[in-house]
């Protein structure tokens, strides 16, 4: 799919994987909307990402916030690409030092990672379904592409990750049914499951810890770069046969229990 004169929306787009994706898409799309939690420097960061990048303060778990973002989309043009990068990785053991894991902490992770992702998908799909079809040089017609973000934790969840693994497993599991349903509207749905990447959360660890984690990756033995995630998003958008699948982007790592 070609993005000239079209719009893309990236959740969690002010940092990490989302920011790298917004930068990549900004080189192709007419406008890129970055949807992220309210912050005073949001407009400034968006301007740094690209001149055609606009910041929309919103909480992905709130229907009204995302609906307002979709109203903004309609004002600017036709939505072609949505990338869901917003999420949390709050750890917590079932039986931790402070006792049993509070149910509300488990539920909060699912609320953001699962409900938040689906909230954006459902409202974005409604907008995309009313867009004009784009037909490529081979006669393939498309209206839009949705890319969600899971994690290798969906498959190799570690100790202390029951909530995170469950949430990312749900994101991976909804990929095929979403793709099957939205196919009638010429909308593709894909999911990327990153391994260990350089994100703001990872940057908070000591360099020695980051190096140790990177060394666990078979090849290349380092942390993934956000621009490598963004490059895969770019290819998914361009390749119409990629649909209904979760792609591991992890350097062949398989996480140990700890």
What the block records as the tokens of 47 is 């301007």
Cis peptide bond N-terminal to 220, omega within 30 = yes
Q: What is the DSSP letter of 232?
A: H
Q: Please name the residues in contact with 227: beta carbons below 8 A apart, sequence gap of 6 or more.
A: 20, 23, 24
93 vs 237: CA distance, rounded Å: 37
Is the CATH number 3.20.20.70 carried by domain 7-249?
A: no
Helix (H), strand (E) counts: the chain: 10, 11
Look at residue 199 in the predicted model and tell me its pLDDT.
86
Q: Residue 1: is its pLDDT beyond 90?
A: no
Retrieve residue 100's tokens.
């049993």
pLDDT, tens digit (0-9, with 9 covering 90-100), for 87-110: 999 999 999 999 999 999 999 999
Q: Which helix (H) or strand (E) holds 71?
A: helix 63-76
What are the domain boundaries of the chain?
Answer: 7-249
Q: Evaluate if residue 121 carries a pLDDT over 70.
A: yes
- Residue 159 tokens read as 């100790």
Residue tagged active-site, from 55, 106, 118, 164 = 164
For residues 190-212, average pLDDT: 84
- Is residue 78 a contact partner of residue 1, using CB atoms and an 8 Å limit? no
User: Tell me, what's the pLDDT at 206?
Assistant: 74
Residue with more model confidence, 257 or 168: 168
The question of whether 164 is a catalytic residue gets the answer yes
Query: In terms of C-beta density within 10 A (0-12 exposed, 13-18 middle, 19 or more buried), how is residue 240 classed?
Result: middle
Mean pLDDT of 207-217: 84
């Amino acid at each position: 799919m070609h993005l000239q004169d079209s719009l893309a929306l990236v959740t969690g787009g002010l940092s990490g994987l989302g920011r790298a994706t917004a930068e990549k898409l900004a080189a192709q799309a007419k406008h890129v909307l970055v949807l992220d939690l309210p912050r005073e420097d949001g407009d400034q960061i968006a301007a740094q990402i690209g001149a055609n990048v606009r910041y929309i303060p919103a909480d992905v778990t709130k229907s009204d916030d995302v609906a307002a973002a979709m109203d903004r989309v309609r004002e600017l043009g036709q939505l072609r690409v949505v990338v869901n990068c917003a999420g949390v990785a709050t750890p917590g053991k079932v039986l931790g030092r402070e006792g049993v894991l509070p149910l509300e902490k488990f539920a909060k992770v699912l609320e953001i990672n699962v409900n938040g992702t689906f909230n954006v998908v459902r409202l974005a799909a409604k907008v995309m379904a009313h867009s004009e079809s784009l037909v490529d040089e081979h006669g393939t017609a498309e209206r839009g592409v949705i890319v969600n973000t899971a994690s290798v934790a969906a498959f190799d969840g570690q100790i202390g990750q029951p909530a995170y693994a469950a949430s990312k497993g749900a994101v991976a599991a909804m990929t095929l049914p979403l793709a099957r349903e939205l196919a009638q509207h010429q909308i593709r749905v894909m999911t990327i499951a990153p391994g260990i990447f350089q994100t703001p959360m990872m940057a908070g660890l000591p360099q020695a810890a980051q190096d140790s984690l990177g060394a666990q990756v078979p090849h290349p033995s380092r942390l993934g770069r956000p621009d490598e995630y963004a490059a895969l998003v770019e290819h998914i958008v361009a390749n119409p046969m990629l649909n209904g699948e979760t792609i591991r982007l992890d350097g062949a790592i398989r996480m140990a229990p700890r």
